[in-house]
Amino acid sequence: MTEDDGRDAAPADSDAGHDSADEDRPEANGVVPTPADDAPNTLDDVRERDAEAEDGDDTDTADGDDTDTADGDDTDTADADTTATDADEPEADDISLDSFYDALEAEGRPVVTAQQVARRLETTQAAAVDALGALADAGSVQRVNVETDPVVWYPTEWGNLATRERIVLFPERREIVVDSPTQYTRARLSQFAHLADTTGERESGTRGYLYKIRQEDVWQSPFDELGELLAMLRSVLPTRSPHLEEWVESQWKRANQFRLYTHEEGYVVLEGASESLMGNVARQKLDDEQLVAPISDTESWVRDGAEAAIKRVLYEAGYPVKDDRELDAGDPLDVDLRVELRDYQRDWVEKFRDQKSGVLVGPSGAGKTVTGIGALASVGGETLILVPSRELAAQWRAELLRHTTLSEAQIGEYHGGQKEVRPVTIATYQTAGMDRHRSLFDSRAWGLIVYDEVHHIPSRIYRRSADLQAKHRLGLSATPVREDDKEQEIFTLIGPPIGTDWSKLFEAGYVQEPEVEIRYVPWGDDTAQNEWANADGYERHQLAGTNPGKDEEVRRLLREHPTAKALVFVDWLDQGERLAEVLDVPFVSGEMPHYRRERLFEEFRDGDLRTLVISRVGDEGIDLPNAELAVVASGLGGSRRQGAQRAGRTMRPAGSALVYVLATRGTSEEDFAQRQMRHLAEKGVRVRENDLL
């Protein structure tokens, strides 16, 4: 949890841009392999081809009113066919759906213009337009205006195919494009691929998802064997790709080329799988601050305390390090649980014990804190718990006393307010990383270190605390994503991910899958829109975020869900104060005294208060388990973590889980809102979009 900085304003923070796949995408015909380059595959492909053909056809005019005669002369359609009588020409009523299909077949195209139908059915263009209009009114065909080109028509049932899931693999670029993916497909893809972008127009209802398979996705995939990863890959993709599978296998092997182990004399050794790797990679990338001296052609003596730096350097070089050190298990700690772990929580604990390190990536509401306590009891050694704030330290203390046999005397807190080192010590990252306190934590033999809200680890303030190493290291976070693209450091320093398949928890009912909708809101008044139009940079982003038109939409959503316990999130204090006045509810921000904040949160938890407007202080580290409705009125630009954290306030085992993200139409907020929800989409959550008129 981070306190508000000044007026809660923060610069727009967004994902790095990604190029979408530029190859042709396949015809909507279920799951198909990559199409031939010269084949039209989608409605857009055909439109483009038709437009090019018509632009180059000397016998057609720009507006499509002229048609070809038998001898190729340009003549108007009204009197083009001098050999046919009026009686020979089909009337509008005579053009049936079957004859329309005949015209499509004759043209060899899935979409046609009225001019092409008229030519194939030997009638006038006016009659074809009337007939196609009648078929459209009956729902048998549909029409699309292609900008300045002629209107094109296609059968309705063919349009329905566009909403089916289609998967296209581009093996050379290791990219996968999925149109209309099911939750099941998105959940499986999240096991080995990264959701890089969403493509297409939201109005069509067929937004595509662009996935990329990166090195770190293979290294961090939650599989014990290469065969399991390849089996998952083959179960998702439309066709086998030896090229891609060879690359995946090569990356899997890279993850085991270096390892750290403890020498029999007590010091740590870095070992490479070959003399070439040790000489050309490790000893080239590392210096005297990390390596003391060579021991053999494949081994080097590691300088004490340099292990974390070695992991970082070699990871960035493309070689994640296996950590086999015989770290101290810490003094024993006799502790029992007072809570029954769920089946999946026991599985998480067992996998963690096998690995001795890992990052638990479970959805909000899955009980990651309880699982961490279960790991503590399973390890049975003295434990250091690192948290980002005092509030979270107090919550951990309460949970430990509630769910274990630990006594008050066995639990200590070490931060600005208290400094107690006990068998179980809860400290803030900031304090643990300070030089004057560091020696105290280093000197203690911890059996387990828990890194709560572990996504903070790569940041400059928290990074030093990650150098604290123990035999068992457990990170906790529902959102191990960062907009600076440093999330790989989380898994490098702490361990591989555990619990990444959220769909199983949704299906089993352990966690309520949120219903997420992005709503594009118009401007509340011309003055606000004009002010935005004349601004630039950060001010422009803030004006879009605080659009007064959102006030009425928030009120409308609360009226639609009158019994739901609701949280309304804002990023600017002025907006929060305005909404609090409009809704006649409290506004909780970093400027509010801590004791008053806690009292309001308690009233919300108890049900005495049903709605709160809240700033970034509610993003993480605060226990608000009973929210049923989250309305994001404004947020950090494109921050996936913030989007998932706010949605996570509703993801509990029972009740409704509704999330509405408001974005001002026609501004950068549209893209930001889509990016904010990307982490949830990657985990299989369906994100709808609604353009309010």
Give bridge partners of residue 66 from the DSSP assignment.
76
Most confident of 104-113, 400-409, 451-460: 400-409
Q: Which of these ranges, 69-83, 458-472, 548-562, has the smallest mean pLDDT?
A: 69-83
Interval 530-553 mean pLDDT: 89
581 has pLDDT over 90: yes
Residue 18's pLDDT band (cuts 50, 70, 90): very low
Which domains are delineated in the chain? 43-160 (1.10.10.10), 164-236 (no CATH), 256-319 (no CATH), 343-505 (3.40.50.300), 512-691 (3.40.50.300)
Residue 172 CA, chain-centre distance (Å), reads 24
Q: Which of these ranges, 120-124, 276-280, 475-479, has the smallest mean pLDDT?
A: 475-479
CB-CB contact of 428 with 390 (8 Å) = yes
Residue 42's pLDDT band (cuts 50, 70, 90): very low
135-185 pLDDT, tens per residue? 888 888 887 655 445 677 777 766 665 567 788 888 888 999 887 777 678
555-564 pLDDT, tens per residue? 999 999 998 8
Contacts for 665 with CB less than 8 Å, ≥ 6 apart: 520, 521, 522, 523, 691, 692
Q: Could you give the CA distance from residue 290 to residue 300 in angstroms, rounded to a whole number?
A: 10
Most confident of 29-38, 208-217, 543-552, 678-687: 543-552
DSSP state of 691: E
Q: Could you give the CA distance from residue 657 to residue 671 in angstroms, rounded to a whole number?
A: 23
Which tokens in the block code for residue 620? 């993480």
DSSP string, 403-440: HBS--GGGEEEESSS-B---SEEEEEHHHHTSHHHHHH
212-257 pLDDT, tens per residue? 998 888 887 878 889 999 999 999 998 889 999 999 999 998 887 9
Give bridge partners of residue 258 from the DSSP assignment.
272, 321
What pLDDT does residue 330 have? 72
599-652 pLDDT, tens per residue? 888 888 888 899 999 887 766 555 565 678 889 888 765 455 555 555 555 555
Which tokens in the block code for residue 400? 């430990």
Give bridge partners of residue 153 from the DSSP assignment.
112, 143
Q: Which of these ranges, 71-80, 83-92, 235-244, has the smallest mean pLDDT?
A: 71-80
59-68 contacts: CB < 8 A, separation 24 or more? 60/115, 63/150, 64/113, 64/114, 64/115, 64/125, 64/150, 65/115, 65/125, 67/115, 67/118, 67/119, 67/125, 68/119
Interval 372-390 mean pLDDT: 91
What is the average pLDDT score of the chain?
76
Residue 20's pLDDT band (cuts 50, 70, 90): very low
Give bridge partners of residue 360 from the DSSP assignment.
476, 498
297 has pLDDT over 90: yes
**Exposure of 103 by Cβ count < 10 A (0-12 exposed, 13-18 middle, 19+ buried)?**
buried
Contacts for 182 with CB less than 8 Å, ≥ 6 apart: 165
Residue 89's pLDDT band (cuts 50, 70, 90): very low
Which tokens in the block code for residue 290? 């990390």
The model scores a pTM over 0.95:
no
What pLDDT does residue 341 have? 92
Q: How many Cα atoms are found within 13 Å in the side-chain-facing hemisphere of 577?
A: 8
44-73 pLDDT, tens per residue? 443 343 444 433 433 333 333 333 333 333
